[in-house]
Structure 1
Amino acid sequence: MKYYSYTFATLAIVAATLSGCNNQPQNSQNDIASPVSVIELKKGSISKLINTTGTALATYEVTLNSEMSGSYKLQNNPRTGKPFKLGDLVKQGELIIRLDDKEYENGIAIDAKKLSLEISEQEQVKQKALYEKGGVTLSEMRNTEVKVTNAKYDYETGLLNLEKMNVKAPFDGVIVDLPHYTPNVQVEQNKPMVGIMDYKQLYMEINLPESSIGYVKPQQPVFITHYTLPHDTLRGVISELSPAISTETRTFKGKIMIQNNKLMIRPGMFVKADIVVEKADSSIIIPKEVVQSSRNRKFVYIVEKNTAIYREIKTGLEDEDNMEVVSGLNVNDNLVIRGYETLRENSKVKVQK
């Protein structure tokens, strides 16, 4: 009997011990605070963009050839005091190259033409005075007018012919091509002299997919970027659109004008254009990467009192990185942007800076 009593007593002690162990609180996953990072939501703006690419080209571009033959004389840049060179800015009407040919200039005899015009004008004044006094007939006075007109045409034609010896900038721009000629060497007619571009305003021709024809409109703003300018964005605008769709490419043509006042983009660069077809101002904007989905529902987590709160959201406009939230979030909500992948409703969290 003592043996059995001892055995039952031992079993009772073991059972009590096990029971006590089972009643001790255990750490659950919900009691472990997950580290997260949050941002406080504010209102901002977002745009719906249609992306395309193309080559930026100068709005004004010209290659000037020699209209006459002559001795080559490259002129000095008045801003530097040195001969013009590639990359120099030029003003409209500025003389860049002069071709000298004394024999050609003497043949024009511009001084004689000017003198002939002055004499004919003096004769006209004299004949008009005589006609008013009855000293000459109307026909005689009109003949002097013909002489003045002919002398004026001769003089102006001479000036135009002399001007052919000068190579001048037709507009404000930059020298982009300047073939080398030995000073004072005889240059033949129709030889390239200088290339000038004005690329303060650029344009690019684009081809857009048929699916975007209902979105893209003239005068819509465009953001222009290039990989060499990672921190700078230029502004442009849709200037022209074709209403016709190509049956071969299923695209339609357009043109973008680009403001390039600081000459940051060079003609010939391959650039990216983001056309702003829709814009939302004063909206809650969140990073696209934090949005999760399940059963066709989009959701995120916010933090309230160190607890993760599930929020189902409805979204609007999107760009490459962000998304507009139409409903489900409020200004000043603390949105979880890191550590959201393992969260559940009411998970304990620890906000890290």
Structure 2
Amino acid sequence: MARSYSGVVLFLLVALLVFAGYLFYQTQQEPNGQRPPSSAVTVKTATANVEPLLRQISALGTGIANDSVQLIASSSEYLTYLNIIEGQSVQQGDIIARLNDVEQRARVAELQSQLEEQKRQLDRLKNLAATQATAQSMLDEQQTRVNSTVAQLESAQSRLDQMTIKAPFGGILGLRRVSQGAYINSGSVITTLDDISTLRIEFSVPERHIAELAIDMPLSIANVAYRNTEFKGRIKAIDPRLDPVTRSVRVHGVIDNNDLRLRPGMLMNVTVTLTNQDALMIAENALVPLQNRQYVYKVGEDDRVTEVQVEIGQRIPGWVEIIDGLEEGDEVIIEGVQKVRDGVLISRVE
């Protein structure tokens, strides 16, 4: 009985070993008869191809007034007249404020009276000179007096004009900084004046796009206050100088703002439409970001991958432009990038 039991146990052990060997053999085979080495990582790949691309530049810009000034007092005097309503539209030449100008008016009136008298004396001397009853030197002296008084009158009139602050252009008045009747010092700000019927947008463009920029190039502008509204503008000016730190150029765009919805200081999302041209494109999920650099895993002829740093350009949904680092036809990993490292062996899946 013991011998029969031992035979059964031995038979079961042999059968178990045979089955285990069979399983091991099966794990070493693929359905097609060969399995890649156990070190190969299964990934999905794609090639970099040249595709048509509508090139656009996205940038953050700031709204600035087309014209903007601070209206200041030119002299230290009492403020006798103030015509400021915050946010009010004014036209060019409208009187905004007036300083106490009694002394200046009196001086102008005095010089005007002197000038009239001196001109009458000059006319009399000219009549006498015609009959040679007076010397030419007296005529010249009187002409000099007239010229001197004219110069003094012009200077006094200029000082009188400066006592009245007028709008240098049409625009919107800002907040009032002073009160009527106050004594203000020379250089004190009375209010601000901004022309925002046309709004300027200032933004920066990287150096590599300078050759593609041109005056009157179309702009698309958006602001968080008007999420569903797209404003249209155009490039007005391009700074001839580049920022030596950021290697970018400042650009000014203009946009019609007659409805006054946009204001100076607003943050603008600016999109510049360049040209429709061919570009080297890869799937966006092939990128491996590291700090401020971008990498991809490029597959070599021996199915081993190499980590390559690339310079990217424009992004569109699901795709990214490659400016430098790859060539057309290069094979890159687009799925499974988390599983690979530089130099590993890969196997492809459809």
TM-score bin (small chain)? 0.5 to 0.7
TM-score by length of 1: 0.57
Tell me the residue number matched to 1:171: 169
Matched residue type, 1:210: E
Task: Report SS of the residue matched to 1:141.
Answer: helix
Deviation at residue 279 of structure 1 after TM alignment: 6.5
Is residue 173–residue 196 contact of structure 1 (8 Å, CA) maintained in 2?
yes
Identity %: 21
Q: Quick one: distance in 1 between partners of 2:69 and 2:152?
A: 30
Tell me the residue number matched to 1:227: 224
Is residue 71–residue 101 contact of structure 1 (8 Å, CA) maintained in 2?
no
**Matches of residues 74-223 of structure 1 in structure 2 within 5 Å?**
74-76=81-83, 84-100=84-100, 102=102, 104-105=103-104, 109-181=107-179, 183-223=180-220
**Matches of residues 1-353 of structure 1 in structure 2 within 5 Å?**
48-76=55-83, 84-100=84-100, 102=102, 104-105=103-104, 109-181=107-179, 183-229=180-226, 230-242=228-240, 244=242, 246=244, 248-278=245-275
Deviation at residue 269 of structure 1 after TM alignment: 0.9
Matched residue type, 1:213: I
Tell me the residue number matched to 2:303: none
Is residue 218–residue 232 contact of structure 2 (8 Å, CA) maintained in 1?
no
Deviation at residue 116 of structure 1 after TM alignment: 0.9
Q: Quick one: distance in 1 between partners of 2:56 and 2:205?
A: 13
Deviation at residue 57 of structure 1 after TM alignment: 0.9
Is residue 236–residue 259 contact of structure 1 (8 Å, CA) maintained in 2?
no
- CA deviations on 1:116-149 (whole Å, 9 max, x unpaired) are 1112222233333333343334333222221121
Q: Quick one: distance in 2 between partners of 1:236 and 1:74?
A: 42
Deviation at residue 320 of structure 1 after TM alignment: 6.6
Deviation at residue 245 of structure 1 after TM alignment: 6.7
TM-score by length of 2: 0.57
Matched residue type, 2:215: P
Q: Quick one: distance in 1 between partners of 2:136 and 2:160?
A: 37
Assess, with a 3 A threshold, how the Cα gap between structure 1 residues 221 and 121 changes in structure 2: closer, same or farther. Answer: farther
- CA deviations on 1:20-63 (whole Å, 9 max, x unpaired) are xxxxxxxxxxxxxxxxxxxxxxxxxx964322221111132111
Q: Quick one: distance in 2 between partners of 1:123 and 1:266?
A: 60
Is residue 65–residue 190 contact of structure 1 (8 Å, CA) maintained in 2?
yes
Assess, with a 3 A threshold, how the Cα gap between structure 1 residues 208 and 119 changes in structure 2: closer, same or farther. Answer: same
- CA deviations on 1:272-329 (whole Å, 9 max, x unpaired) are 222232379xxxxxxxxxxx9xxxxxxxxxxxxxxxxxxxxxxxxx9979xxxxxxxx
Is residue 177–residue 196 contact of structure 1 (8 Å, CA) maintained in 2?
no
Task: Report SS of the residue matched to 1:110.
Answer: helix
Assess, with a 3 A threshold, how the Cα gap between structure 1 residues 136 and 172 changes in structure 2: closer, same or farther. Answer: farther
Number of residue pairs matched by the alignment: 229
Give the aligned CA root-mean-square deviation in angstroms.
Answer: 3.0
Matched residue type, 2:266: M
Is residue 210–residue 245 contact of structure 1 (8 Å, CA) maintained in 2?
no
Alignment gaps of 5+ in structure 1: 1-45, 77-83, 281-291, 293-317, 322-353
Q: Quick one: distance in 1 between partners of 2:85 and 2:198?
A: 22
Assess, with a 3 A threshold, how the Cα gap between structure 1 residues 238 and 60 changes in structure 2: closer, same or farther. Answer: closer
Is residue 233–residue 253 contact of structure 2 (8 Å, CA) maintained in 1?
no
Alignment gaps of 5+ in structure 2: 1-52, 278-282, 284-313, 318-350
Moved over 4 A (4+): 318-321
Matched residue type, 2:86: L
